[in-house]
A and B are shown apart, each in its own frame.
Chain A
């Protein structure tokens, strides 16, 4: 999705001259308008969120736990949602990364039988095109099957709750998967044939070539895709609202320490913003602005990181 950065040199034919037809001049004017509109919008959003965020964000919000209260000054901070975002992103990435890299390697290095490869390829596209809300409620019906009871709370009467960090993380992995697959494949295809052939000539098997030559060479590409996917996980709201329960504080399930927490419900920054906007139950717009500012910073940070990783990509001579 990156915008290719190949500035072209333009000299003589520069600006619209009087000889141009009026329609063409208007068209160029519209182009300018559209381009500047985009820049102005981005500036407006960043400045507005920055202004609201800096004036409403107080440091103690970051380490106070949220409390239910009608009074905006007593609702505490957003420590739980912040940790929730980190945990959920880590879980989703931990699932998406191996799956995505394996899928990409199979697609680009083996891809036999070819009908299966074509099907997997369009399958990844279908997942990329599926709305997150559909993924969310698919996850709900899937993880409410008793087979998956170990992932979440089981209520009395053996009804499986289906909502937990683990189930939400699994669905988040699907959100990130297309990004990981896409950029890993791109990186693999950028490795020239002769590199692979050199490795075979040294007596390495294909499996060893993948592990020792291709994977290290693709590391920047894999990292870029992973970080882009993380950005999507951090910004996703629908899956959190439906699959994580979006409870204000963490509510853990009885069990061993870490597993009990992961099987419990919680919230993330996105669901915190949603619930504290006038559309949700909390209705504390000041908290919502502060949390949204933090969220925006995280997302911008992840995107800068992705851009930097992408630039560090190995250049091959062919």
Chain B
């Protein structure tokens, strides 16, 4: 049977469909930045700085309540506490997740006995598939009350009461759950790469008298470095963009946890950029407020873009070693 389509036509149509991806991305960048521009333009570099007086939430309320006259719109914002919250949750979860997932991937590939390995593979896939709202639900109904009732003493609550209320919704819970969410993604990618390391390489190492852990550490993990970078980039993107779970468990206060507070630091509430967008979604129709929210999205968009670029650049010098990631 003859196909109704000539090759030329098929190629053109398929190419056009594939190019839709690029048009979508271009549209995303244009629309989000066009909408966000007034917020950046009014604040200049101060946008990224600390809020002058009061808190970010006060500033957001002022923006929300700005007068209807476009010439008197309020845009004043110093988003540093939100950026700091994003940085803390992301870096915390990725650092913790990287350590756990490297160990777990090595265990899965090299040390796990047969039955455990057979259980662990579906378990990793299952954990990666659980929706973030379920993690958030468990966090807000189980972990947050536990931390609030058992881990935070009354004295600790009173010691910072004049700045912020400690309820259990905290940086600590946010980072822990975020770690649980990103570890399975990282383990899956790393385990694939470790499996792909040629047997002969590790056998060579063992033949030279190195034990199995050393062979893993010095040969396999080194060969799998591109995959480890890829996994880290993917996990960081996921952590940066996680909105729902963090808006549920991290306290939803535009407060930047202060490292000078000692251990209390981990128990202070925070609110990353993505969670701020979800929490304030109702205000999107108020023009200056909506523009501020789109500015948050623009920052997220730029950071994920630079993240992929950074991952790509970090992989280049490693290309000549072993398995690709």
Contact = CB atoms under 8 A, between A and B. Distances in A.
Contacts of B274: 131, 133, 238
A289 interface: yes
Contact of A48 (B22, B132, B138, B189): B138
Interface string A44-58: 011011000000000
Interface string A69-98: 000000000000000000000000000001
B278 A133 contact: yes
Interface in B125-141: 125-134, 136-138, 140-141
Q: Contact size class for B?
A: 35 or more
A37 interface: yes
Q: Is the interface of B mostly helix, strand, loop or mixed?
A: helix
Interface stretch (A60-68, A120-128, A217-225, A249-257): A120-128
A99 interface: yes
Contact of A38 (B124, B199, B206, B301): B124
Interface stretch (B54-62, B149-157, B207-215): B207-215
Interface in A196-253: 204-208, 210-212, 231, 234-238, 241-242
B126 A303 contact: yes
A176 to B, nearest CB: 13
A13 B3 CA distance: 59
Interface in B212-239: 212-214, 217, 233-234, 237
A309 interface: no
Contacts of A238: 243-244, 274, 278
B7 A131 contact: no
Contact of A273 (B112, B134, B304): B134
Given A137-B297, A141-B32, A205-B3, A273 B137 contact: yes
Given A4-B195, A102-B18, A106-B14, A277 B180 contact: no
A8 interface: yes
A183 interface: no
A102 B15 CA distance: 8
Contact of A7 (B114, B132, B277, B278): B114
B264 interface: no
A231 B131 CA distance: 9
A31 B103 contact: yes
A153 interface: no
Contacts of B27: 138, 142
B243 A13 contact: no
Contacts of A42: 123, 126-127
A141 B35 contact: yes
A20 interface: yes
A235 B238 CA distance: 14
Given A20-B213, A33-B103, A42-B126, A105 B14 contact: yes
B277 A137 contact: yes
Contact of A119 (B14, B22, B107, B252): B22
A8 B31 contact: no
Contact of B116 (A20, A35, A137, A140): A35
Q: Is the interface of A mostly helix, strand, loop or mixed?
A: helix
A11 interface: no
Q: Contact size class for A?
A: 35 or more
Given A241-B278, A242-B281, A277 B248 contact: yes
Given A105-B14, A141-B32, A235-B129, A35 B300 contact: no
A237 B185 CA distance: 19
A286 to B, nearest CB: 10
Contacts of A177: 21
A35 B192 CA distance: 16
A20 B211 contact: yes
A195 interface: no
B104 A207 contact: no
A208 B129 contact: no
Contacts of A4: 191-192, 195-196
B244 A130 contact: no
Interface stretch (A22-30, A186-194, A258-266): A22-30
B254 to A, nearest CB: 16
A236 to B, nearest CB: 7
A46 B119 CA distance: 14
Contact of B137 (A30, A131, A289, A307): A289
Contact of B121 (A5, A122, A242): A5
B103 A34 contact: yes
Interface in B159-180: 180
Contacts of A212: 1, 3
Given A34-B103, A140-B284, A241-B281, A277 B141 contact: yes
A103 B17 CA distance: 6
Contacts of A150: none
A39 B187 CA distance: 12
A124 B304 contact: no
13 contacts: A28-B213, A38-B120, A102-B13, A102-B14, A103-B14, A103-B17, A138-B28, A205-B6, A207-B7, A211-B5, A235-B133, A277-B137, A302-B129
Closest 10 CB pairs of A and B: A131-B241, A235-B131, A35-B107, A208-B3, A34-B103, A106-B14, A207-B10, A31-B107, A102-B17, A34-B104
